[in-house]
Amino acid sequence: MRLLVLLWGCLVLPGYEALEGPKEISRFEGDTVSLRCTYREELRDHRKYWCRKGGLLFPRCSGTIYAGKEGQETTEGRVSIHDNRQELSLIVTLWNLTLQDAGKYWCGVEKRGPDESLLISLFVFPGSSRPPKQLDSTSAEDASPALSSGSSKPRVSIPMVRILAPVLVLLSLLSAAGLIAFSSHLLLWRKEARQDMETQRNEKVYLSHLNYRTSELDPEEAFEISSPTFLSD
């Protein structure tokens, strides 16, 4: 029957989903991940399971774990599964993840004919984001309200480039504005310095020309030229 899971998923009509939940989840080594697969009312009393997708040409389930009856939690190794029939949801928890846990998994519901299923991709990245911790049944129940707010969202590692990009752009604009202001100030200073030099040169030329003329005249004419004249009424 596990072999029919993928075949039914290929034949099911677009938009028709008996199970809903996250399609992709990303975590680091040592992390704990909890996910929720919700199902329709008519599947409340059906048997639920969690398994890993195996096979190439003919997909099949491997390492299948069935949810206990009457809402009992089932734990095998580092995986626990709990069917909350009141909330119509199948809660699966995996803790102390390893790189080997990465792969595709099915949330499934047995029923007459092909099973209902939801394919979930789990990505596990090397490195630990926090020290590994064991998750018991009490902490799993405490985490249930947080899960009910919506589907699990993968934690995405944002590159530092995206964070620093606005800062770098702002610094570049400030640097460009400062460079433009400095260049304008430098050009204005050079223009004023050039004008001062021309003024001083003109004054020197005028004084030298005046001294030359006074040297050729007699003392009385030179005194008249160099001395200011006063007009009287």
Predicted TM-score (pTM) above 0.85: no
Last residue of a domain, one of 107, 125, 143: 125
Q: Is 25 in the same domain as 82?
A: yes
| Claim to verify: residue 34 and residue 95 sit in the same structural domain | yes
Domain-embedded: residue 63: yes
Residue 149 lies in a domain: no
Residue 204, in any domain of the structure? yes
| pLDDT over 70 percentage in the chain | 67
Domain count, the chain: 2
Task: Decide: residue 127, CB within 10 A, 0-12 exposed, 13-18 middle, 19+ buried.
Answer: exposed
The pLDDT tens digits of the residues spanning 24-76 come to 999 999 999 999 999 999 999 999 999 999 887 888 899 999 998 877 899 99
Q: Is residue 147 part of a domain?
A: no
Instruction: State the residue range of the domain holding 175.
Output: 160-214
43 and 121 housed in the same domain: yes
Span 182-227, pLDDT tens digits: 888 888 888 888 888 888 888 777 777 777 666 666 666 655 555 5
Average pLDDT over the chain, rounded to whole? 77
End position of a domain, from candidates 67, 98, 125: 125
Write down the pLDDT at residue 127: 84
Q: Does position 15 have pLDDT exceeding 70, yes or no?
A: no
pLDDT recorded at residue 214: 66
Q: What is the pLDDT of residue 187?
A: 86
Beta-strand runs (E) in the chain: 19-20, 24-28, 33-39, 48-54, 60-66, 74-76, 79-84, 89-94, 103-109, 116-125
Instruction: Give backbone dihedrals phi and psi of 22, rounded to 5 degrees, phi first.
Output: -70, 140
Q: Are residues 111 and 205 in the same domain?
A: no
In a domain, 138, yes or no: no
